[in-house]
Chains A and B, each alone.
Chain A
Amino acid sequence: MSKKGTIEVRGFLHLDAFIRKIQGKMPLILDLDAPITGRELAERLDISPDEIEVIFVNGFVQELDFIINPGDRMAFLPPGCPGPYRIALGFYGKNQGNPANFKIKKRG
């Protein structure tokens, strides 16, 4: 868990290199005083929603619009997680309201 007033942000697959560039290390520690959705955070960091299949918040798979609070640990996961773990970790269960994310679109 991060300190109150900050969040830990990680990125996986190609977002690993992307996040690392921001502060030169992983995880990225960001100031956060008020709750924010994953979508808003992605926008703030210039990550397109198309590049995110699910987010992790405190070790749980959540949809992009899930709320992140100060003190949380979160991660952005692009499409690309292999294995039956996509199902076993709840990617589909958490994405019911967002058809775009598990009907994976080919990036142009």
Chain B
Amino acid sequence: MFKFIRVNMTNKEVTISEVPEKYVGLGGRELTSNFVNDEVKPTCHPLGKNNKLIFAPGLLSGTAAPNSGRVSIGAKSPLTGGIKESNSGGTFSQNMARMGIKALVIEGMPEDDKFYIIKINKDNVIIEEAPEEILGGCGNYKAIEVLNEKYGDKVGIALAGPAAEYRFATASISFKDPESNIRSGGRGGLGAVMGSKKVKAIILDTEGVERVPVADPDKFRAAVKVFAKALMDHPVAGEGLALYGTNVLVNIINEAGGLPANNFTGGRIDYNDNFSGETLNATIKKRGGKGKVTHGCHRGCIIKCSQWYADEDGEYVTSGLEYETTWGLGADAGIRSLDEIAYIDRAMDDIGVDSIEVAVAVGAAMEGGLIPWGDGKRVLEIIKDMAKPTEMARIIGGGTAVVGKLCGLFRVPVVKDQAIPAYDPRAIKGIGLTYATTPMGADHTAGYCISGNILKVGADIDPLQKEGQIEYSRAMQIGTAAVDSTGMCLFVYFGIADNPGGYQALIDMINAQYGINITATDVDKLGENVLRVEREFNKKAGFTNSHDRLPEFMEYEPLAPHNVVWDFTPEEIDKVFDF
């Protein structure tokens, strides 16, 4: 029996039931967004008792499907005020799936000030007080060590770090990875929701559980083989990401003139070599020791875009040093040293904050005169101070929109109060439409596509022209919503967009696992429905089309080197969701 678990933090009651009929066959983002739309009061305060937090593995999580170990977390976002699906790697999703848990809901709110741990094994769910030693500023790395010691080092762990305990709008939910390092459900402040419900950690103990059932193992195995080959045969998934990580984009986006610099006042820098993927690769190789050029954030990942970055003595500093973090600290905030960036990345994981939101908030704070431009040491201090927290730490922890307001800035790069990531929409127009219209707020991951006809949709795109961009953004958002529901890592996109056989193999895996018969059209419809549900929630929460806009300054401040502005009209932007 698949389980749907509800934990009520007001009265500490736990309900374990079968999956409600309407959620049968749903997973990942499709499940979390439908649930949030069904059960969360759209006008509730996100940090109050009426918000609900839902964790859901994807349809294929826990199986041998490559790259299927992603977890979706849903709630009303304290950062945007709209619906949020946050997504992470790590071991949590596979553990949930192996335990037959299709969803874990946390609702209500304790009246006391204590923090709790929810411990789940194959037989029951126990709520107990969190050990003192992991509270009050204890970093996530140490907390994982303590919890591994207490509950066994095979357990899955989801953590509300110090920032989440203090309910920062930038607080992430931190997840243990296979080596007990940290991955993040970063965007949208869902860590603060977890913290508001006084849940410090969720422990998954898979002792004694069986394998995830598969309806047709032979068909499944065959589809896995085709899918894996499609990924490995593609130079992006098969080589580029493994060797250079997502930082491979630093040089590419810089060359294209779309790398936002100094709080979005320029599109290209001349010190990109300092922290490009190529430099990251060379530095890790040169230093040896514990450094690894390639690493997977969950077992079964065959793309392995992550890495272990080591210091000059070869000691581990951080892993999962992503393009968006490196861009934000390096180009947007002007921090030139890759080492300083790596230490800040580690600190952000340890405190549990969204590295994109905080990096962009730092850039805005620099323009606002709160922090000297490019001062990596000061930034590291502030992040570490989030454990206390100091007033400055709270300001930065409030996110970019808050910093912008406090500093009296007009140049505040957010959509729906969420920071715009590492691709300037003036120079890459299609991305701009996604930032503007996705129900998630400015989100670069909302626009990945698995549609087999993406070449038809995107074949004629020119980044500085308007033609085709509306159709491109629409198709990408629909496709992404579908991928997010399967539990697959978005990077499987590469084995699919250029390879119709790969796309069919994904569908075949789902069909073989559940003994069903969905088609590519069904998957497209799935994506459309997820987006409809999310927009419905946002509308009820008070959002209108007027929120689907980029910041005004992008309409009149040209971005060098191409000297372009954002010139889509409101009417054109509104066409993206015309379906």
Contacts and interface: CB of A to CB of B under 8 A. Distances in A.
Tell me whether chain A's interface is mostly helix, strand or loop, or mixed: loop
The winner among A79, A90, A104, A107 for most chain B CB atoms within 10 A is: A90
B491 interface: yes
Contacts of A90: 461-463
B240 A88 contact: no
Given A59-B561, A75-B255, A87 B458 contact: yes
Contacts of B276: 16
A103 B476 CA distance: 20
A77 interface: yes
B64 interface: no
A10 B278 CA distance: 12
B463 A77 contact: no
A13 to B, nearest CB: 6
Interface residues of A, number: 35
Contacts of B239: 80
Contacts of B278: 12-13, 16-17
Given A61-B256, A88-B430, A93-B461, A82 B491 contact: yes
A92 B249 contact: no
Q: B235, B243, B493 — which one has the most chain A CB atoms within 10 A of its CB?
A: B235
Given A12-B248, A13-B244, A88 B494 contact: no
Nearest to A15: B278
Contacts of B561: 59
Contact of B235 (A12, A26, A80): A80
A67 B241 CA distance: 30
Interface in A83-97: 83-90, 92-93, 96
B448 interface: yes
Contacts of A104: 233-235, 498
B255 A93 contact: no
Contacts, number: 123
A88 B472 contact: yes
Nearest to B241: A82
A93 B459 contact: yes
A80 B303 CA distance: 12
* Chain B interface SS verdict (over half): helix
A18 to B, nearest CB: 11
B102 to A, nearest CB: 29
A85 B423 CA distance: 9
A86 B497 CA distance: 11
B428 A96 contact: no
Contact of B252 (A26, A81, A107): A81
B490 to A, nearest CB: 9
A10 B235 contact: no
B236 A79 contact: yes
Contacts of A17: 278, 282
A106 interface: yes
Which of A14, A53, A78, A83 lies at the interface centre, i.e. has the most chain B CB atoms within 10 A of its CB?
A: A83
A13 B476 CA distance: 26
A75 B272 CA distance: 14
Contacts of A77: 252, 255
Given A75-B255, A87-B458, A93-B462, A13 B240 contact: yes
A88 B463 contact: yes
A87 B430 contact: yes
A96 B459 contact: yes
Interface in B396-434: 423, 428-431
A10 B272 CA distance: 12
A32 B257 CA distance: 24
A78 to B, nearest CB: 7
B460 interface: yes
B244 to A, nearest CB: 6
Contacts of A83: 249, 448
A97 B491 CA distance: 27
Residue of A16, A77, A80 with most partner-chain B CB within 10 A: A80
Contact of B236 (A16, A26, A82, A87): A82
Contact of A81 (B240, B243, B498): B240
B455 interface: yes
Nearest to A78: B235
B448 A84 contact: yes
A12 B448 contact: no
Contacts of A85: 249, 252-253, 423, 428, 431
B129 interface: no
Interface in A48-83: 53, 56, 59-61, 75, 77-83
15 contacts: A13-B240, A56-B255, A61-B256, A79-B235, A80-B235, A84-B431, A85-B428, A87-B454, A87-B472, A88-B430, A88-B463, A93-B459, A93-B461, A104-B233, A104-B235
Interface of A: 10, 12-14, 16-17, 26, 53, 56, 59-61, 75, 77-90, 92-93, 96, 102-104, 106-107
Given A13-B243, A81-B248, A92-B455, 20 more contacts: A10-B251, A10-B255, A12-B252, A13-B277, A61-B256, A77-B252, A79-B236, A80-B236, A80-B241, A81-B249, A84-B430, A85-B428, A87-B472, A88-B431, A89-B463, A90-B461, A90-B463, A92-B460, A93-B462, A104-B235
